[in-house]
Structure 1
Amino acid sequence: MKCDNFNLNQINLTQIMAMALSASILVTTGCGSSSSDSSSNQVNTNAQADNSSNTTSNNTTNSDNASSTDNSDTNTDSNSGDNSGTDSGDDSGTDSGDDSSNGTAQTEGSTDGVLCDYTYSEFNNSASVQATSNADWSCSGTARQLVANGIPDHATGTFPNQANPNTISEVNVSIAYTLTPTKTDTASTLGGPRGATGYVLNGVKIDANTAGSCDDSGNSCSLVGNTGNWSIEALGQTSFDFGTDDNNAHVQPDGSYHYHGMPEGFIALRSDSQVVMTLIGWAADGFPIYARYGYSDAENAQSELKAMQGSYQLVENVSSNRPSTSVYALGTFAQDWEYVAGSGDLDECNGRFGVTPEFPEGIYHYYATDSYPYFQRCVKGQL
């Protein structure tokens, strides 16, 4: 029904009564509005409530997403922790000089598990070698075995040379050392005809003494035969030239290339010329040999590395039978040196007990040193 304007002066009583009835109807239905509009408004309100619910639902989803973000942060922290651990482990290994590829001892008192599968076979094109270096170490039962040809795996000096007329040749090396070495209180001297004091991993033998000697007068000296009373040293003296190269090695008449002192070329290959504790070989009694560096505290693998010093000193009282020191300075002969306990880091066989990267529980072991005796001349283990 339409709401119109009207003039009360122009209508009669009947019209007024009719209009009153119509007005009652208009008030009930509401002028300018409809139930459908009201219903529509109610739907819209409900829709807004649903939208609000959806918003709440969306907020909940966002809250879940925030939780996922937290998980992501947690995962990131976890990954960061793993990376940190890896980096720390790698750095620690480098600093301590620990070469994990060497392995570690499986049982206390045994060297089994350490370098039991060391194998090398490669052509050495050094001018004085021109041959393949072969060395094969293995462990079986109670023995560590080496089969090699004695050819070095690094560059050498020139051989033959004026002071050493011998040519590097292949030799048959086949030895077996115990896997369970036992230290004794006795020092057993080795070298020369008594046998090598040990072998470097490349299959080259360690033989620090020489066959050179002088008689008491010093007028009769020879670099072969070892017939005099005074044994000539290969290193640390300037009176005699044995033709050694930068690896402190030279060649015997049978073609055996061998070390009298620090095997620099091999050490450079093993340690990449870094200051690390480097296992370079095995002694005849089965104990390991390290080169130059050891822990400053023998019982602490976290202590700094230092160059080990032998405990030999030049004699103070020179024998009256010795050739003149004005001709042959002290240090020329082996008899010029005496062991003075506590004057260096090592015992009379250039060894000590202590921890190493391969033997964290500790083991008796030897050192190649820059000071006399350079390599051990004796062993303390049971033979």
Structure 2
Amino acid sequence: MNTVHKRTMLATWVSVLLLSACGSGGGSDTQAQSNSLSAETNSTNTGSATQSDSTADTSSDNNAPSDDTNTEETESGANTDTGTALTSGSTDGVLCDYFYNEFNDSASVQMTSNADWSCTGSTRQLTANGIPDHETGTFPNPGNPNTISETAVSVSYTLTPEQTDTASTLGGPRGATGYVLNGVKIDANTAGSCDDSGNSCSLVGNTGNWHIEALGQTSFDFGTDDNNAHVQPNGAYHYHGMPEGFIALRGGDNTSMTLIGWAADGFPIYARNGYSDAQDATSSLKAMTGSYQLVENVSSNRPSTSVYALGTFAQDWEYVSGSGDLDECNGRYGVTPEFPQGIYHYYATDTYPYFQRCVKGQL
């Protein structure tokens, strides 16, 4: 097993203190698909990236640290040390030395997955090759004709994120909304669309007015696997929803709140569960729900709901404040295990929008 395990900066700092007695389009689909559907490409309207979304993405508590920094490894060999934030208003000290370098023997991968996160000065840096560290579905497949391959990932996020009142839409050509710790990007929208009649639909180009969702609908097949992910023409495997395989590797379950990645604005991303009382770490965990609902008044210009059920298109959903646990970017402010004094953070959810489509922090 070729595992490289870094010693955490946090653990080193704590040891020194103790000794002194005092923490998501390039390429077009080359495989014909039925009903004039082709592989998806970059979105210029919804900031999307699915089968042929954007090419390789280059976008870039004043709480005492615990003596126990939990540096044990998962079976996959990843360093799972999390720690707690060293300074109020900063994410420094949390997963600043996450490193993974293992061969993935999944049938459609057969390559080494590499991801290296580090914190230097005021930035959190990721260098990765975009290869997932968990089992994947079969690629190519009838709904996705692309093969997983390495894509150079190099992004830098701030360690001092600032929440704003503005939601900035990301995805596709605008850049990934964030990255899971394994170096795989998050890009929840698609580039598929239909015209008003619904007679002309394509999984590429976003030329129609009605933008097709990758998940939660049965009219179109984007070839996503059990990790709610698929592959772009340039080989970039990316997530549209809950990265189940990675969550399992992190030990995520109904009894834990699992940090799985970082958003483009520098705020953390958690999987599924959060405290039922956002400000109380002793409250029970619950599955977070998004605050989007199906529209009640369907546009007369929409393709027929008898052909394409509500939920097929992004425009079928509207944000209704207070209808769920989260805001329009699938985030909220509250305490987390790594940030006991509170921080704005995002969630992957089992409900729409599945992953955030925007960020609330300053970019």
Q: TM-score range by the shorter chain?
A: 0.7 to 0.9
* 1:115-134 mapped onto 2 (5 Å cutoff): 115-134=95-114
Partner letter of residue 239 of structure 1?
S
Q: CA deviation at 1:272?
A: 5.2
Partner letter of residue 221 of structure 1?
C
Distance 1:289 1:378 in 2: 13
Partner letter of residue 191 of structure 2?
A
Q: Gaps (5+ residues) in structure 2?
A: 1-67, 69-78
Q: Gaps (5+ residues) in structure 1?
A: 1-89, 91-98
Q: CA deviation at 1:100?
A: 8.7
Q: Deviations over 1:69-105 (max 9, x none)?
A: xxxxxxxxxxxxxxxxxxxxx9xxxxxxxx9930100
Distance 1:229 1:180 in 2: 38
Q: 2:268 aligns with which of 283, 288, 295?
A: 288
Q: Deviations over 1:289-322 (max 9, x none)?
A: 0000000000000000000000000000111111
Aligned counterpart, 1:136:
116
Distance 1:364 1:196 in 2: 19
Q: Which has the higher helix share?
A: 1
2:307 is equivalent to residue 330 of structure 1: no
Q: State TM-score, norm by structure 1.
A: 0.74
Partner letter of residue 295 of structure 1?
Y
- Whether the 8 Å contact between 2:292 and 2:323 is mirrored in structure 1 is yes
2:91 is equivalent to residue 108 of structure 1: no
SS of 2:220's equivalent in the other structure is: coil
2:280 is equivalent to residue 305 of structure 1: no
SS of 2:156's equivalent in the other structure is: strand
Partner letter of residue 313 of structure 1?
Q
- Whether the 8 Å contact between 2:254 and 2:273 is mirrored in structure 1 is no
Distance 1:168 1:224 in 2: 19
SS of 1:280's equivalent in the other structure is: strand
Aligned counterpart, 2:198:
218
Q: 2:152 aligns with which of 163, 172, 175?
A: 172
Greater RCO, 1 or 2 (C-alpha within 8 Å, sep 6+) = 2
Distance 2:255 2:129 in 1: 30
SS of 1:102's equivalent in the other structure is: coil
* 1:189-204 mapped onto 2 (5 Å cutoff): 189-204=169-184
* 1:247-258 mapped onto 2 (5 Å cutoff): 247-258=227-238
Q: Deviations over 1:13-51 (max 9, x none)?
A: xxxxxxxxxxxxxxxxxxxxxxxxxxxxxxxxxxxxxxx
Q: Deviations over 1:174-213 (max 9, x none)?
A: 0000000000000000011111000000000000001100
Partner letter of residue 112 of structure 1?
D
- Whether the 8 Å contact between 2:254 and 2:285 is mirrored in structure 1 is no
Distance 2:294 2:225 in 1: 25
Q: Which has the larger radius of gyration?
A: 1
* 1:1-383 mapped onto 2 (5 Å cutoff): 101-271=81-251, 273-383=253-363
- Whether the 8 Å contact between 2:186 and 2:355 is mirrored in structure 1 is yes
Superposed structure 1 runs of 4+ greater than 6 Å apart? none
Partner letter of residue 95 of structure 2?
L
Distance 2:80 2:112 in 1: 27
Aligned counterpart, 2:65:
none
SS of 1:233's equivalent in the other structure is: coil
Aligned counterpart, 1:95:
none
Partner letter of residue 271 of structure 2?
A
